[in-house]
Structure 1
C-alpha cells in the first residue's frame, strides 16, 4: 500500500511520457526481473517491508522518476540476458554500444541514481551483480546527487558481496560523498567491518594507504571515525593495513589517542599505546592526552598514560600542565610523584631531610 509521501511524489504518466516514481518503477522492474531468477517464496508482507526500507534510509534521500524514458522496463530483461558490455580500449564515444545498451548506461533518476544505485538501494543483490558485470568502470563510479557511488550505497546497506564485486571491477574507493566520506570512511563510521575487510583485501596497498590518509569535510580520517565509534576490531584492521596512528584531525589536531581518552575507553587507550601511539602528542591548543585525562578526572586513563611515560610537565597554550587540571582530585594527585615541592606543576626545590 503506497504511503502518503509516495503519493505526493507520483508523476502523471501523461506528462513528458514519464512513468511513476522510482518506487513504482522498481516494482515493475522487480516483477519483470523475476523471470531471470528463481522465486524465493516472497509474499505480500515481505514486498511491503522491502518497499518501506527505502524510506527509512535517509530523510533526504528518496527515489524519483527516471530522467529518461528511453529505458523501458519491458526491455530490461532482454538487455540483461542478451548483451554484455565491457570497457573498450580508448573508447571516447558510444559507437561500440547498441541503442538499448546506451539507454541502459545513461538513464538516471532525478536524484542522479543509475539502475545500479536502485538495485542496491532495494537490496536486489543478484540483480546488482548482473549490472556490475554489465557496466564498465566509468558507469560503476557515477555519483548521484548526494555524490554517492554504488560502492557508498553497498557499504551503507552492509552488503559485502556487492562491495567485493564492485572492487573486483575496479570501482573507485577514493570518491567522496557530500560529507567528504569515501566508502571506507563510511564503513568506519557505520561499523561495516566486513565491508572494510573487503576494501582492504581488494585494493592495492598504495591506494588503500592514500584513502586512509584522506580527511572528510569534518577533518577526520578513517582511523578517527573508527576510534570515535569505539570499534576496536575496525581500529585493529586499519592499523594492520598501515593506517597512520598519530595523524591529527583537521579541526582540533586530535589524534586517535586523544579521542580514545575523551571516550574514557581504557582498553582502546591501551590498544593504541601498544601499537605505538605518541603518548605526548599535542593538539592545536597544546593539550596532550594526559591533559584530557586529568581534566576529565579519569583516574584509570591517567594511570595508564603515566605508566606509559607521559610527560607530566608539558604545558598547553594556557600555560597549564596536566597537574594544574587535577582540581584537587586526591585520586588523580596520588598518581603524580611528590618528591619535590611543586607550584602549578613546576618543581621549586627538592625536599631533603
Structure 2
C-alpha cells in the first residue's frame, strides 16, 4: 500500500499545500514528508512478510513472560528500518497489530523508529487508525518522539486533519500535552499553526480549548496562527478561523508584520524617484 498516496487522498478539499503560491512563498521551509518509504515494497516481499507474521506463535505468550522481549519477530527489521509492527500498521493487518501491541506493553519495541524516525504511533496516525493509536498509547508508546521532520504524532494529526486520531492522542494520558503543544517541528510550526495553515477549524477550536498559545509565532516568518489563517485560500473558512482567533490574540499581534523585503523595496523606490527627479524629456523637466 502506498502510504504517501493514502495520506494525499485523505486531505480535505480546502488543503492549500499547492493551491496558494502566496502562502508557499510565505512558508519557505521544506514540506514535511509523511510516507514511510515502503511504497516501493515488492508484492512478493510483502507476501513473505505476511506469512511470517501469520506464522508467529504469539498466542501462548503473556505479559509476564520473561523472554517476551526477545521474541524473534521483534528483532526483524527491513532495510527501511521498519519492524513487523510498522509493516502490519501500514498494510492494515489489524489483528496482528493488536497481538503485537498486547505482547509489548512497556517494551521499547513499541518506540523503535524507522529510517525516517517514524514510530508505530506515527504510522498509525498517518494511516488514520485511531483504534491502534489508542492501543499503542495504553501500552505506553511514547507520544513525544519526533520523526525526521520534527513532528510528533499529534503534529501529524493536526496537519492531516484526522479528528479521530487527534481525539485519542489528546484524551488518553494527556499529561504530555503541554509540552507537545508548545513544541515546533523542524519547519517551525506547532500544532496550532499546522491546523490553521491547513484550514481545520474543528482542530483549531479544540487546540484552543486545550490551552494552545494563540500568540505563539511560527519560526519561519514569525507569524501567529491568526496571521496564517488570514492567508488561507478559502475566504469563508479563513473568516471562521479568524473570528475564533481574533478575540484571543493580543492587540499588538493582530496586525500583519511588515517584511524586510517590503521595507527595502520602499526605500529603493524613494531613492529612484529622487535620482530621476531632474530628467528632462523633450525639453521639459
CA shift for structure 1 position 55: 7.7
CA shift for structure 1 position 75: 8.1
Report if the CA contact (8 A) 1:53-1:122 is conserved. Answer: no
d(CA) in 1 for partners of 2:78, 2:127: 20
Matching residue of 1:176: 146
Query: For 2:252, what is the secondary structure of its paired residue?
Result: coil
CA shift for structure 1 position 141: 0.6
Matching residue of 1:269: 242
* Cα gap change, 1:111 to 1:200, in 2 (>3 Å): same
CA shift for structure 1 position 76: 5.2
d(CA) in 1 for partners of 2:180, 2:149: 15
Structure 2 residue 78 is the aligned partner of structure 1 residue 109: yes
Larger RCO of the pair (alpha carbons < 8 Å, separation 6+):
2
Report if the CA contact (8 A) 1:54-1:122 is conserved. Answer: no
- The equivalent position to 1:61 in structure 2, one of 23, 31, 38, is 38
Structure 2 residue 132 is the aligned partner of structure 1 residue 155: no
Matching residue of 2:188: 219
- The equivalent position to 1:120 in structure 2, one of 89, 92, 101, is 89
Structure 2 residue 190 is the aligned partner of structure 1 residue 247: no
Structure 2 residue 106 is the aligned partner of structure 1 residue 129: no
* Cα gap change, 1:73 to 1:84, in 2 (>3 Å): farther
* Cα gap change, 1:266 to 1:154, in 2 (>3 Å): same
d(CA) in 1 for partners of 2:249, 2:224: 9
Report if the CA contact (8 A) 1:116-1:128 is conserved. Answer: yes
Q: Cα RMSD between the aligned structures? A: 3.2
Aligned residues: 228
- The equivalent position to 1:278 in structure 2, one of 240, 250, 271, is 250
Identify unmatched segments of 5+ residues in structure 2.
7-34, 265-285
Deviates more, 1:130-139 or 1:149-158: 130-139
Matching residue of 1:84: 62
* Cα gap change, 1:172 to 1:261, in 2 (>3 Å): same
CA shift for structure 1 position 98: 6.4
Report if the CA contact (8 A) 1:154-1:162 is conserved. Answer: yes
* Cα gap change, 1:74 to 1:141, in 2 (>3 Å): closer
The structure with the largest helix share of the pair is 2
Matching residue of 1:210: 179
Deviations 1:1-24 (A, max 9, x none): xxxxxxxxxxxxxxxxxxxxxxxx
Deviations 1:259-294 (A, max 9, x none): 1122251111111123x1124217xxxxx23x68xx
* Cα gap change, 1:161 to 1:74, in 2 (>3 Å): closer
Deviates more, 1:218-227 or 1:162-171: 162-171
Report if the CA contact (8 A) 2:3-2:127 is conserved. Answer: no
d(CA) in 2 for partners of 1:74, 1:256: 47
Identify unmatched segments of 5+ residues in structure 1.
1-51, 89-95, 283-287, 296-315, 320-353
Matching residue of 2:137: 167
Whichever of the two has the greater Rg, that structure is 1
Structure 2 residue 115 is the aligned partner of structure 1 residue 145: yes
CA shift for structure 1 position 136: 3.6
Report if the CA contact (8 A) 2:36-2:118 is conserved. Answer: no
CA shift for structure 1 position 126: 2.2
d(CA) in 2 for partners of 1:74, 1:119: 11
